């Protein structure tokens, strides 16, 4: 069994917070083991809780379409959430629940070691850009360590709001170029030269 599958097995019986009492299933995450891109949403909803899989409801169908717009299938990326259990009535995750779940996510990131993390929604964006407004930073990337973080609106919000829908579709289309640049930065490992501003498209 792979280390990632072992981690999923560890997550399944998790009792670290109160959400364990009401969930049907834990939703660890799924997808490729060594993908370039990892998507992080907020929390499982009704369908995810029933099936134990992330993004399988209407927001998930939209995410699958968005991935197709850049020629990616779900199996080519890894998809997970900030918290692994559904909050009752789909309420927002509480700070204590996010904190209790954090080390699962950290271990997933460490094992998967993606080149790029795409955050879906505010809670996920707060992992790398706490205090920023998603309306300001969606569609932009920042490098932290050797991972590129790219913020997007949550597909569930964008599904029913035409202007957000346009934004999320356009942001998705930027991902291949951001990733291509991330790859060349990682592979060539250039000496930092002030005149060669390789990362200027990441705003840093």
Which residues ranging from 28 to 47 are in contact with ligand URA (CB under 6 A)?
41-45
DSSP state of 23: -
Is residue 85 close enough to count as binding ligand URA by CB under 6 A? no
Nearer to ligand URA, 31 or 57 (CB): 57
Nearest distance from residue 56's CB to ligand URA, in Å? 7
Q: Does 118 bind ligand URA (CB under 6 A)?
A: no
Q: Which of 35/44 has CB closer to ligand URA? A: 44
Residue nearest to ligand URA (CB): 41
Number of residues that bind ligand URA (CB under 6 A): 13
Where does 15-72 have alpha helices with state H? 19-22, 46-51, 58-68
Nearer to ligand URA, 64 or 181 (CB): 64
Asked if residue 54 binds ligand URA (CB under 6 A), the reply is: yes
Q: Which range, of 4-12, 56-64, 106-114, 132-140, touches ligand URA by CB under 6 A? A: 56-64
What are the tokens at 64?
A: 């699958």
Cα–Cα distance for residue pair 11/5, rounded to 1 Å? 10
Q: Tokens for 129, please give them.
A: 């850009």
Interaction between residue 55 and ligand URA (CB under 6 A): yes
Query: Strand locations in 5-84, DSSP E?
Result: 30-31, 37-41, 78-81
- Counting contacts by CB under 6 A, is residue 156 touching ligand URA? yes
CA–CA dist 116, 113 (Å, integer) = 9
Angle between helices 58-68 and 162-188 (to 10 degrees): 50
Q: How far is CA 151 from CA 41, 59, 107, in A?
A: 11, 17, 21
**From 26, 81, 119, 140, residue interacting with ligand URA (rule: CB under 6 A):** 81
What 3-state class would DSSP assign to 202? helix
CB 36, min distance to ligand URA, A: 20
Residue 41 DSSP SS3: strand
Chain residues in the site for ligand URA (CB under 6 A)? 41-45, 48, 54-55, 57, 59-60, 81, 156
């Amino acid at each position: 069994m792979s280390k990632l599958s072992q981690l999923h097995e560890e997550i399944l019986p998790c009792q670290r917070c109160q959400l364990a009492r009401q969930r049907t299933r834990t939703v660890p995450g799924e997808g490729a083991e060594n993908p370039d891109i990892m998507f992080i949403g907020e929390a499982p909803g009704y369908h995810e809780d029933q099936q134990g899989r992330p993004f399988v409801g209407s927001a998930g169908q939209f995410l699958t379409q968005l991935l197709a717009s850049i020629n990616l299938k779900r199996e080519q990326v890894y998809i997970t959430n900030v918290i692994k259990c559904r909050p009752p009535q789909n309420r927002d995750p509480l700070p204590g629940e996010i904190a209790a779940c954090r080390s699962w996510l950290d271990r997933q990131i460490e094992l998967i070691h993606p080149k790029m993390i795409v955050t879906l929604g505010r809670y996920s964006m707060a992992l790398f850009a706490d205090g920023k407004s998603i309306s300001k930073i969606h569609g932009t990337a920042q490098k932290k360590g050797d991972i590129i973080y790219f913020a997007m609106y949550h597909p569930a919000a964008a599904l029913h709001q035409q202007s957000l829908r346009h934004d999320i579709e356009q942001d998705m289309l930027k991902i291949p170029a951001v990733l291509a640049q991330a790859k060349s930065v990682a592979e060539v490992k250039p000496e930092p030269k002030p005149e060669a501003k390789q990362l200027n498209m990441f705003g840093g």
